[in-house]
Chains A and B, each alone.
Chain A
């Protein structure tokens, strides 16, 4: 029955799904994002039970299943734990390839923050020190990309 289909162009239909979601950042996320926007500071939070310092901060510690407790101001510098230089381009990406994603352990944090590195890609390796570069104040809007990227020190 299928054979005839080989001799014609089969029919297709374009989907029309484009759902405009709007996510609240929540109390914890808002304080973190406003810290980026207003003060160029990166805030984490410490679990009162196990002491783990998380960034991005979150209200609960999954390991302890408790509320996290206090806010901690982290350094704007950190150490690269892993990285990849992305060579392909896609509309999802906030910058033109090539660029890098890196897992960065900020000074004072126990977990890594995933972010962008845009230059000196040939100098990337595990353990290199990097610094957060913030966008100009007028361009910051309380967004993870208020940090324009990290640069190798």
Chain B
């Protein structure tokens, strides 16, 4: 297999309501900024992958409306409907499949629709959607099952929110810049037990773009290449009742494949930081278990021992994570971008010292039905 690398990245500041920009404006801004970052011109971009969702955008074939803004006029353009980490994986496959460079761009304006209606739409229409399930209540079922299985407490989850919101203050792109305590989280508005408002990510507007290049095209870019050392995705069953919600087995499968591709035997030893998809506080420890950083049920212990803190052996979500900024679909691509900035040593206040290898992660579907895992490095091997 050829070597490929990410040579350009850009993201908007995430915000509650970007009233000065349309979706196409956001896509144009990050497309141009990613090309500037890479030092590439439009003619150096061989094909374009857009990431969008028709329900979020409120239009049919939503990708077609942003092609011009993505510089895709007269280019080969295709679309991924799902999280940006999966869109990037498709972009990587195109880069491995003959295109010298691929631009992947994701956008979402959660402020323009109703996220509860939109996430209700991901459920099976006859048996589950009519119950009114949406993202928060379904995730609450998962959080409760996880707590009961391993004897975890709401405070265990609150501490994740405190850590990630504190990290978010170091990230100029973060939507929320909050000082919160465990008490603040515990006393925030109860939404669906055990989840409270500060256990949940905000609804953000934003966009992000990356440029992936085959090794044969890397010399054209001015940035330090960040190499794709491993990537994989895997999906679990669709219906919530069919799955063991406390054990993210599709994440374990995807991680294992990505580690094998990257030649990693012991992820705790080999990986310097993680940017994962914490749409809800409980997801961070659960995903860390699925990724094999600890035994099942011990994810919260990693935080208690300081392992996942900025000063720990494995900083998790130095950016503040999805809890600090959640532009749907964009958030998985943002995890990749944050990892790239870390590996280039350009993460500013949130920089993890001597970061050489990072794991970036995205999810699709209710309660993390599908997981996408990326292993990125600033060295080729």
Binding site for B on A (CB under 8 A): 2, 5, 10, 15, 17, 21, 23, 25, 29, 33, 54-56, 62, 81-88, 90, 92-94, 101, 103, 111-116, 126, 143-145
Contacts and interface: CB of A to CB of B under 8 A. Distances in A.
Given A10-B20, A23-B126, A92 B132 contact: yes
B49 to A, nearest CB: 26
B144 A83 contact: yes
B58 A114 contact: no
Contacts of B189: 87
B193 interface: yes
Given A17-B58, A114-B141, A82 B127 contact: no
Of listed A5, A83, A92, A115, residue having the most chain B CB within 10 A: A92
Nearest to A3: B20
A120 B37 CA distance: 58
A144 B130 contact: yes
A113 B130 contact: no
Nearest to B245: A82
Nearest to A109: B241
B57 to A, nearest CB: 10
Contact of B131 (A54, A82, A101): A101
Given A5-B19, A15-B58, A101-B131, A85 B192 contact: yes
A25 B126 contact: yes
B242 A111 contact: yes
A144 B133 CA distance: 13
A145 B131 CA distance: 8
B322 interface: no
B20 A101 contact: no
B58 A82 contact: no
A103 B241 contact: yes
A82 B192 contact: no
A62 B117 CA distance: 28
A48 B58 CA distance: 43
B20 to A, nearest CB: 5
Contacts of B136: 88
Given A113-B241, A114-B128, A115-B131, A88 B192 contact: yes
Interface of B: 19-20, 58, 116-117, 120, 125-128, 130-134, 136-138, 140-145, 148, 189-195, 237-242, 245
Nearest to A6: B20
Give 10 closest A-B pairs by Cβ, nearest first. A84-B140, A112-B241, A93-B132, A82-B145, A92-B132, A10-B19, A85-B193, A2-B20, A84-B192, A56-B127
A111 B192 contact: no
Of listed A21, A90, A115, residue having the most chain B CB within 10 A: A90
A74 to B, nearest CB: 13
Nearest to B54: A17
A82 B148 contact: yes
Nearest to B17: A10
Of listed A62, A85, A116, residue having the most chain B CB within 10 A: A85
A17 to B, nearest CB: 6
B125 to A, nearest CB: 5
B237 A62 contact: yes
A111 B239 contact: yes
A92 B116 contact: yes
Contacts of A82: 141-142, 144-145, 148, 245
A94 B131 contact: yes
A112 B133 CA distance: 15
Given A82-B148, A90-B132, A144 B141 contact: no
B241 A111 contact: yes
A24 to B, nearest CB: 9
A86 B237 CA distance: 24
Contact of A5 (B20, B130, B138, B190): B20
B368 to A, nearest CB: 15
Of listed B133, B137, B194, B245, residue having the most chain A CB within 10 A: B137
A112 B116 CA distance: 23
9 contacts: A5-B19, A56-B127, A82-B142, A82-B144, A84-B193, A88-B191, A90-B116, A113-B127, A144-B126
B141 A101 contact: yes
Nearest to A85: B193
Contact of B120 (A81, A92, A116): A92
Nearest to A106: B241
Nearest to B124: A56
B241 A94 contact: no
A103 B130 contact: no
Of listed B125, B140, B144, B193, residue having the most chain A CB within 10 A: B144
Of listed A15, A81, A82, A113, residue having the most chain B CB within 10 A: A82
Given A92-B117, A94-B132, A114-B131, A126 B148 contact: yes
A112 to B, nearest CB: 4
Nearest to B130: A144
